[in-house]
Structure 1
Amino acid sequence: MRGVVMHAPGDVRVEDVAEPKIIKPTDAIIRLSATCICGSDLWPYRGADEVSEPLQMGHEYAGIVEEVGDDVQLIKPGQFVIGSFFASDNTCEICRAGYQTSCVHREVLGTSGAAQAQRMRVPLADGTLVATPGVPDDDLVPSFLAASDVLGTGWFGAVAAEAGPGKIVAVVGDGAVGLLAVLAAKELGAERIIAMSRHADRQALAREFGATDIVEERGEAGVAKIKELTGGLGAHSVVEAVGTQESMLQAIGATRPGGHVGFVGVLHDVAITGGDIFMTHVHLHGGPAPVRRFLPELIDLIWNRKIDPGRVFDLELPLDRAADGYQAMDQRRAIKVLLRP
């Protein structure tokens, strides 16, 4: 089959790779209806993460189950399914508490089964995958694909920041996760949502998703603008969706005393000192999003066409043009690229 392989920073190729097989009796094999390029894939593409050997790429997926292992009871061939970028049993004590990305038996998708391909193996299928009520119309596939990572991650960022009725929410980052954190904050009932963005196309989508204000400033100037918009206090809830030192300090600085930061950007070279937080009374909560926790609710919202997160995909390409998709996202000519196998 065809799959995306990163050989070195900036060197992405689509080539023949091994067909996935059932390895453990808890596995499933799915035929991908769509996959995509994640903002986190740009870290190795740009050389921020080491690429020491050819690496099959992809951890976001939606598709049809083709085969299941002997121990799989809940997931059936022919179902359309979505799963998280972490495989989890969904039964251990940590999973039952809602943190499936820290499941005691977790496996990282991309190492056990790469998703930028025609087919993939999903471990712990019964705990990882959630089926839709039926095979969806094709126009819903992008939204279900978004649920496998960026929607669930943005949703967790908003939940971790305790976005809700009566709250002012600020979102640092205007990539797919940040934009969908705006959508999540809106769905959670936030009174006012401030999107931090310098790009007109992303600002427009943020407003469609529910943003009431746009702040273009960054760093200390961005913090000052948030304070200005909130009577000098800062936002109740701030979602950090980038993962850099500047964005994290901006998020903390934009939060009012007693407020909450939900951080979901993949962290790179972020160091927070005691002095950064001791006098702020700011709560910090985040990490790899437990997408599996939210999938049943998100699937219901998408199936019933109450939300349209698939709008973050502003470029669709065939799988064989994945290299063009990486380049478009790297150059910020696309928010997020959908690939059709």
Structure 2
Amino acid sequence: MRAAVMFGAGDVQVKEVPDARIDRPTDAVVRVTHAAICGSDLWRYGKMPPNPDGVRLGHEFIGVVEETGAEVTSVRRGDVVLAPFKWSDGRCEFCRDGLPNSCLNGGFWGGELDGGQGEAVRVPQADGTLLPLPMEPDDPRVPAVLALSDVLCTGHHAARAAQVGPGRTVAVVGDGAVGLCGVLAASRLGAERIIVLGRHTARTDLARRFGAVEVVPERGTEAVERVKELTGGHGAHAVLECVGTGAALRDALDMARPGGAVGYVGVPQDGDGVDARRFYRRNVTLAGGVAPARAYAPELLPDVLSGRLDASAIFDRTVGLDGVPDGYKAMAEREALKVLIRP
């Protein structure tokens, strides 16, 4: 079968790889119908050292079950399913606690294993991982549902961690797909006012469509001061950090009001720490981390299917499997927000 493989920074190729197949009785094989390129993939695309063996790509996908192992009971051949960005068994103590991202028997797609940016995927722990969908592969709602594999659940996680709710003013740091989904999530949770920090007009216009009422294009100290100015000098009740740099996290903490909260979900990239004295005296809560997408997806799915929660507009370019290398290039050069793949 064919799949996207990265051999180093800027070097993505579509290659022949071994067919996805059942290896254990808890596996399923899923034929991919829709996948995506994630903003987090771009970090590797920008700095991965040369690797002659290459690494498989893609952690967001929807597909049709082609085969199941002998112990799989929750899905069967022909089912349309969503895969979150990490597989999990659904049974361990962390899965039972609502943290499938910390599953004792879980793992991430790609690397040496199958990735979503290919024709098919072997899904370990299929019963705990795959979410059956009440739809056909050609349903026009599929792109909106695909967002639940990662970015929409991640934006929701940031909003939940930042304690977003009615009457709250929310600042969202970052205008990428996760930040935009954070705007959607904050709106769904009843935020009274949403401010988005970004400087790409097409993206901030989309943020306004999703529920933001103000845009702050400044960065650093100027951005913090602007958010405080917009909030009567106090800062936001809730801040969603959706970038992943130390600078973004520091700004997020600085623009939270006393007693406020910061939800951080941006994948940490530079290793820059944050001095706790920055927010200790203001009693600011810091929470977040990796989103438990498999736990959130069933909760959010009804709103997605009804159209109340529709992130499909984040997909502004569609490519076939052969177009994946160009899709990476377009996202890296800010010519596309998020690329949808139709293998």
Name the TM-score, length of structure 1 as normaliser: 0.97
* Separation in 2, partners of 1:155, 1:274: 25
* Separation in 2, partners of 1:273, 1:197: 25
* Separation in 2, partners of 1:162, 1:136: 35
Matching residue of 1:293 = 295
CA pair 222-208 structure 1, distance change in 2 beyond 3 A:
same
CA contact (8 A) 1:216 1:222 kept: yes
Matching residue of 1:13 = 13
Matching residue of 2:66 = 66
Is 1:322 the counterpart of 2:324 in the alignment? yes
CA contact (8 A) 1:168 1:236 kept: yes
CA contact (8 A) 1:44 1:51 kept: no
Q: Secondary structure of 2:78's match?
A: coil
Q: Secondary structure of 2:4's match?
A: strand
CA contact (8 A) 1:83 1:128 kept: yes
For residue 68 of structure 1, what is the amino acid of its counterpart? T
Is 1:216 the counterpart of 2:221 in the alignment? no
More deviation in 258-267 or 296-305?
Answer: 296-305
In the TM superposition, residue 136 of structure 1 has moved relative to its aligned partner by: 5.4
In the TM superposition, residue 279 of structure 1 has moved relative to its aligned partner by: 2.3
Instruction: Provide the identity percentage.
Output: 47
Matching residue of 2:310 = 308
Matches within 5 A, 1:96-107: 96-107=96-107
* Separation in 1, partners of 2:41, 2:203: 20
CA contact (8 A) 1:2 1:17 kept: yes
CA pair 275-184 structure 1, distance change in 2 beyond 3 A:
same
Matches within 5 A, 1:64-103: 64-103=64-103
For residue 277 of structure 2, what is the amino acid of its counterpart? G
In the TM superposition, residue 93 of structure 1 has moved relative to its aligned partner by: 2.0
* Count of residues paired in the alignment: 340
CA contact (8 A) 1:243 1:270 kept: no
For residue 36 of structure 2, what is the amino acid of its counterpart? C
CA pair 285-50 structure 1, distance change in 2 beyond 3 A:
farther
Matches within 5 A, 1:100-249: 100-111=100-111, 112-135=113-136, 137-249=138-250
Superposed CA deviations along residues 140-186 of structure 1, whole A, max 9, x for unmatched, are 11111111011111111111111111111110010000000000000
In the TM superposition, residue 83 of structure 1 has moved relative to its aligned partner by: 1.8
CA contact (8 A) 2:33 2:64 kept: yes
The answer for unaligned runs of 5 or more in structure 1 is none
Superposed CA deviations along residues 183-207 of structure 1, whole A, max 9, x for unmatched, are 0000111111111110110011101
* Separation in 2, partners of 1:170, 1:13: 38
* Separation in 2, partners of 1:51, 1:68: 36
More deviation in 242-251 or 304-313?
Answer: 304-313
In the TM superposition, residue 132 of structure 1 has moved relative to its aligned partner by: 1.3
Query: Which consecutive aligned stretches of 4+ in structure 1 deviate over 4 angstroms post-superposition?
Result: none
In the TM superposition, residue 306 of structure 1 has moved relative to its aligned partner by: 2.0
Give the RMSD, CA atoms, in angstroms. 1.3
* Separation in 1, partners of 2:324, 2:137: 25
CA contact (8 A) 2:57 2:109 kept: no
* Separation in 2, partners of 1:130, 1:148: 10
Name the TM-score, length of structure 2 as normaliser: 0.96
For residue 69 of structure 1, what is the amino acid of its counterpart? G
* Separation in 2, partners of 1:319, 1:142: 16
In the TM superposition, residue 273 of structure 1 has moved relative to its aligned partner by: 2.0
Superposed CA deviations along residues 253-292 of structure 1, whole A, max 9, x for unmatched, are 1111111111111001231123233223111111111001
Matching residue of 2:285 = 283
In the TM superposition, residue 113 of structure 1 has moved relative to its aligned partner by: 2.6
The answer for unaligned runs of 5 or more in structure 2 is none
